[in-house]
């Protein structure tokens, strides 16, 4: 395994902080970069950005449809626009603007969905974005990206600034550890990152769920001698079919993990590809079931639905037909 | 402005709108006829937009929020040389780029519109960019009166005033009808002027079929320094064809052979009266 096995290492920054820090660096060098916000500069950690670059932040107020329409207009005039708003509102209320003004009109806005998934925890389902991959996947001409760690976030934001196509990037606000110290394992949109390589099971995860998937893989090897391939599938669309094919061919079972509804997200995207290409093997989509979530913090909610190191470990054993009873551990 | 030449254009445009709607067996006849004089004046007297400068960042922008009246736009763009008019014989046909709402696949179209309530936000964004870049271009958007209940318009109206976008001009094609019937009965938006004024806009009324009045009001832009401008163009849906005027059913009615020939004759008579 190339990944660090140090379970105790200190987590890094929140991907949100990396986003705002990276955007400042980019904005300093390129005055065409704009942040457009919907009363979201606080939650987007953009207060310092606004102070440093007052001419590069456009406040819209709480009006997401207008936020996206205005962002599209700015982008059509050559601005490099990061439209920043909580993922839940951005991709639901402004969906028609995303579809028509950004994707269909091909205005290269960078939509930044902050506090994605169940980041808002106990604030409840109005504030959860468990639909964003699904609704955006069936809109043509928009990339969907969920960086896993600080490295992927920094890369995603930096590369998005240069991208002349519509893109949606979502992340949460909890501190994240690096998946790997291996600097040769680079980041490129549309190319999943193989974090560990193993022939027993493939765990394909996206966003902040890659980290617990990796921790589960480490335990699978250490305790059960099960070798897992863990993929950070940061780009949900376009999906890295080549990598998917490779790991599906070389493993006995496939699990997908996402902080999203089990409907319409990474899991179903992988499932349809695998089925259509003749990979018929044990398969499980791990995500939030079709319900308004249990009340709790982000961690409590994710644990509740098994989107955790422990949950992924158990599911892996189950899918491989092994007993998950603790007492039978070797 | 050569009034006679412009008046001839307006009638010719109407004839072409009908011709291509009949050819496509689809289109938004009433609204295209109500906004065509506005488009005539914009493209021939106001906008610095041409096939030659369409990729220049300094061109004026025209974004048609009421995308369904695309036939009017196509006819004017063809006349301005953006594409051969002959292309319009393919309108709405299998594999044609000339679909029933504007798209950027057609040279000369700024934004893909058709869903209502989008043009103003797009225009606000473009106008903010002009301010940021210290560019002199103006941004125009044409809205229908029927699309005003879309909430996004009012979000955008706030932002336009907040950013003092005096380089932005919205035009409302107030033909007072929409697909269901009189706009006042469907969802009354009157008084439009007071609403926009209270949002921080400067508003002027104009007869939307008077080429001179339209030209004059565009010449007065911006109506007030530091404020976005709204032109409420009072128009008649189906204008120019007697039996279509003010008739709800001609919102997207397609004339049959006989109706088409009557309409063309009426317009020919109007043309003869000018020439
Ligand atoms: Mg109307």
CA–CA min distance A56, chain B (Å):
9
CB < 8 Å to B155, chain A: 60-61, 63, 65-66
The CA-based dihedral angle spanning residues B172, B149, A128, A288, taken in that order and rounded to the nearest 10 degrees: -110
A261 touches chain B (CB under 8 A): no
What's the whole-model pTM score?
0.96
> Is the separation of the CB atoms in A171 and A16 below 8 Å?
yes
Question: Which residues in chain B touch residue A101, judged by CB atoms under 8 angstroms apart?
Answer: 111-112, 118, 121-122
Count helices and strands in chain A by DSSP H and E runs: 12, 12
pLDDT in tens, A143-162: 999 999 999 999 999 999 99
User: In this complex, which of A34, A60, A104 lies closest to B159 when CB atoms are compared?
Assistant: A60
Contact B126 A101 (CB under 8 A): no
Domain residue limits at B142 = 3-274
Measured over the CA atoms of residue B112, residue B118, residue B124 and residue B125, the dihedral's sign is: negative
Q: Are strands A110-114 and A80-86 parallel, antiparallel or unpaired?
A: parallel
Contact between chains at A101 and B133 (C-beta distance less than 8 A): no
Q: How far apart are CA A130 and CA A319, in angstroms?
A: 25
User: What is the least distance, in Å, from the CA of B112 to any CA of chain A?
Assistant: 5
CA distance A90 to chain B (A): 14
- Position A5 confidence tier, pLDDT thresholds 50, 70, 90: very low
Task: Flag whether pLDDT at A239 surpasses 80.
Answer: yes
* ipTM score of complex: 0.96
The per-residue pLDDT for A326 is 54
- Tell me the domains of chain A and their CATH numbers: 15-170 (3.40.50.970), 193-319 (3.40.50.920)
How large is the angle between the packed helices B29-41 and B3-24, nearest 10 degrees?
Answer: 150
Q: Which of residues 50-79 of B touch A (CB under 8 A)?
A: 57
Q: Determine the pLDDT at residue B250.
A: 95
- What the block records as the tokens of A279 is 């990979």
Structure tokens at A144: 């969907």
Does A39 touch chain B if contact means CB atoms closer than 8 Å?
no
Model confidence at A11, pLDDT cuts 50, 70, 90, reads confident
Q: Which residues of chain A neighbour B124 with C-beta distances below 8 Å?
A: 66, 69-70, 73
Cβ-Cβ contacts under 8 Å, A61 against chain B: 155, 158-159, 162
Q: Identify all chain A residues contacting B54, using CB atoms and an 8 Å cutoff.
A: none
**pLDDT confidence tier of residue A23, bands split at 50, 70 and 90:** very high
Question: pLDDT by residue (tens digit) across B174-183?
Answer: 999 999 999 9
Q: Cβ of A95 under 8 Å from any chain B Cβ? A: no
Q: What mean pLDDT comes out for the span A315-320?
A: 98
Counting residues of chain A whose pLDDT is more than 70, the rounded percentage is: 95
Domain count, chain B: 1
Cα–Cα distance measured from residue A57 to residue A49, given in angstroms and rounded to the nearest whole number: 8
Q: Beta strands of chain A (E only): which ranges?
A: 33-37, 57-59, 80-86, 110-114, 143-145, 167-170, 193-196, 201-205, 228-232, 235-237, 253-261, 283-288
pLDDT at residue A222 tops 50: yes
User: Is the model's pLDDT at A87 over the cut of 80?
Assistant: yes
User: Which of B54, B99, B110, B121 to mutate to probe the A interface, most A CBs <10 Å?
Assistant: B121
Q: Which percentage of chain A shows pLDDT scores above 90?
A: 94
CA distance A38 to chain B (A): 11
Interface A-B: count of C-beta contacts within 8 A? 99
At residue A229, φ and ψ (nearest 5 deg) are: -90, 120
> Which residues of chain B, if any, have pLDDT below 50?
none
Chain A CB contacts of B118 below 8 Å: 69, 96-97, 100-101
Which residues of chain A make contact with B111, given a CB cutoff of 8 A? 72, 76, 101, 105, 107
* Cβ–Cβ under 8 Å, residues B91 and B32: no
Rounded average pLDDT over A168-196? 96
Asked if the Cβ–Cβ distance from A76 to B120 is below 8 Å, we say no
Quick one: pLDDT at residue A183? 85
Q: How far is B110 from chain A (nearest CA, A)?
A: 9
CB contact under 8 A, B129 and A63: no
Contact A76 B122 (CB under 8 A): yes
- Whether residue B110 lies within 8 A of chain A, CB to CB, comes out as yes
Model pLDDT, residue A324: 66
Split at pLDDT 50, 70, 90, the class of A7 is very low
Distance of CA B251 from the midpoint of ligand 1 (Å): 9
pLDDT of A248-258, one tens digit each? 999 999 999 99
Mean pLDDT in residue range A285-295: 98
For residue A209, report the distance from its CA to the centre of ligand 1, in Å.
Answer: 50
A330 has pLDDT over 90: no
Burial group, residue A321, by CB count within 10 angstroms (0-12, 13-18, 19+):
exposed
Identify the pLDDT of residue B52.
98
Of A66, A78, A105, the CB nearest to B111: A105
Q: What is the DSSP letter of B42?
A: I
- The alpha-carbon gap from B228 to the nearest alpha carbon of chain A, in Å, equals 15
Ligand 1 centroid–CA B43 distance in Å is: 21
**pLDDT for res A124:** 96
The CATH number given to whatever domain includes residue B113 is 3.40.50.970
pLDDT at A323: 72
Question: Do residues B211 and B236 touch, judged by C-beta distance below 8 A?
Answer: no
Closest chain A residue to the Cα of B105, Cα to Cα: A105
């Amino acid at each position: 395994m190339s990944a660090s096995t140090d379970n105790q290492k200190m987590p890094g920054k929140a991907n949100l902080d990396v986003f705002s820090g990276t955007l400042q660096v980019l904005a300093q060098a390129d005055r065409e970069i704009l942040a457009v916000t919907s009363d979201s500069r606080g939650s987007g950690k953009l207060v310092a950005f606004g102070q440093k670059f007052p001419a590069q932040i456009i406040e819209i107020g709480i009006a997401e449809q207008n936020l996206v329409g205005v962002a599209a207009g700015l982008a059509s005039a050559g601005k490099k626009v990061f439209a920043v708003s909580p993922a839940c509102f951005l991709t639901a209320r402004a969906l028609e603007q995303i579809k028509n003004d950004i994707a269909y009109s091909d205005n290269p806005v960078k939509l930044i969905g902050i506090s994605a998934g169940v980041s808002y925890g106990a604030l409840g389902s109005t504030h959860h974005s468990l639909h964003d991959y699904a609704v955006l996947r069936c809109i043509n001409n928009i990339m969907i990206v969920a960086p896993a760690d600080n490295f992927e976030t920094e890369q995603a934001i930096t590369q998005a600034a240069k991208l002349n196509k519509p893109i949606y990037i979502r992340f949460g606000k909890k501190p994240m550890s690096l998946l790997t110290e291996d600097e040769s394992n680079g980041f490129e949109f549309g190319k999943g990152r193989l974090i560990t390589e193993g022939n027993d099971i493939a765990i394909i995860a996206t966003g902040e769920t890659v980290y617990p998937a990796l921790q589960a893989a480490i335990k699978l090897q250490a305790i059960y001698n099960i070798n897992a391939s863990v993929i950070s599938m940061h780009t949900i669309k376009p999906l890295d079919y080549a990598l998917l094919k490779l790991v599906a061919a070389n493993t006995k079972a496939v699990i997908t993990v996402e902080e999203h509804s089990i409907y319409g997200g990474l899991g179903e995207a992988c499932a349809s590809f695998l089925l259509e290409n003749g990979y018929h093997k044990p398969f499980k989509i791990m995500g939030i079931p079709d319900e308004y979530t249990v009340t709790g913090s982000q961690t409590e909610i994710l644990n509740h639905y098994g989107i955790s190191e422990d949950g992924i470990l158990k599911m892996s054993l189950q899918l491989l037909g092994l007993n998950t009873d603790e007492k039978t551990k070797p | 402005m050569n009034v006679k030449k412009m008046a001839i254009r307006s009638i010719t445009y109407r004839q072409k709108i009908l011709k291509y709607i009949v050819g496509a067996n689809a289109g938004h006849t009433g609204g295209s006829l109500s906004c065509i004089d506005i488009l005539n004046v914009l493209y021939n007297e106001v906008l610095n937009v041409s096939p030659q400068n369409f990729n220049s960042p300094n061109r004026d922008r025209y974004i048609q929020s009421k995308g369904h009246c695309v036939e009017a736009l196509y006819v004017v763009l063809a006349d301005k040389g953006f594409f051969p008019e002959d292309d319009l014989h393919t309108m709405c046909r299998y594999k044609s780029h000339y679909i029933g709402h504007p798209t950027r696949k057609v040279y000369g179209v700024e934004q893909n519109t058709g869903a209502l309530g989008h043009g103003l936000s797009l225009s606000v964004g473009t106008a903010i960019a002009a301010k940021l870049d210290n560019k002199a271009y103006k941004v125009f958007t044409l809205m229908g009166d029927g699309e005003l209940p879309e909430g996004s318009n009012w979000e955008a109206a706030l932002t336009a005033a907040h950013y003092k976008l005096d380089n932005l001009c919205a035009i409302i094609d107030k033909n007072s009808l929409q697909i269901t019937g009189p706009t006042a009965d469907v969802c009354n938006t009157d008084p439009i002027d007071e609403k926009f004024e209270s949002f921080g806009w400067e508003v002027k009324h104009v007869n939307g079929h008077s080429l001179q009045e339209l030209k004059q009001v565009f010449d007065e832009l911006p109506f007030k320094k530091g404020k976005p401008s709204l032109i409420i163009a009072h128009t008649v849906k189906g204008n120019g064809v007697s039996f279509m005027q003010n008739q709800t059913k001609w919102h997207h009615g397609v004339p049959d052979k006989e109706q088409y020939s009557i309409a063309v004759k009426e317009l020919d008579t109007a043309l003869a009266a000018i020439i």
